[in-house]
């Protein structure tokens, strides 16, 4: 069996520490009796921080995990906005240090 024939396991990104981790395919740790999460690693600080954040935004964990993988470049290329593109009827944003202030 070649490497390309094997089913690919999902690599996840922790929203607390931005670390990448690979939980078991069953998403449970049998020796610990604990379920793995798609949005945080096993660190207690990450777990509490991410749990509070998910309550605040009220988006499913699977959706947030997909966004995190995309932002980290794990799942396809990182999406970025088009620089220099101006919305209709708006001015271009000033580059850092060139904005006008009351001091000048």
Average pLDDT, rounded, for the chain:
78
Q: Residue 25 — pLDDT band, cuts 50, 70, 90?
A: confident
User: Taking the complete model, does pTM exceed 0.85, yes or no?
Assistant: no
CA 66 – CA 19 distance, rounded (Å): 15
CA 10 – CA 75 distance, rounded (Å): 9
CA 103 – CA 39 distance, rounded (Å): 45
pLDDT for position 2: 57
Segment 35-58, tens digit of pLDDT: 888 998 888 898 899 888 888 888
pLDDT for position 101: 62
Instruction: Classify strands 20-21 and 28-29 as parallel, antiparallel or unpaired.
Output: unpaired
Which whole number is the average pLDDT over 26-39? Answer: 85
CA 27 – CA 36 distance, rounded (Å): 5
């Amino acid at each position: 069996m070649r490497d390309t024939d094997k089913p690919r396991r999902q690599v996840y990104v922790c929203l607390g520490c931005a670390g990448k981790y690979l939980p078991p395919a069953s998403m449970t740790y049998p020796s610990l009796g604990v379920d793995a999460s798609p949005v945080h690693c096993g660190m207690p600080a990450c777990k509490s921080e991410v749990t509070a954040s998910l309550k605040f935004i009220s988006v499913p964990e699977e959706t947030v995990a997909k966004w995190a993988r995309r932002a980290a470049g794990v799942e396809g290329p990182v999406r970025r906005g088009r620089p220099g593109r101006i919305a209709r009827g708006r001015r271009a944003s000033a580059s850092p240090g060139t904005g006008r202030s009351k001091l000048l």
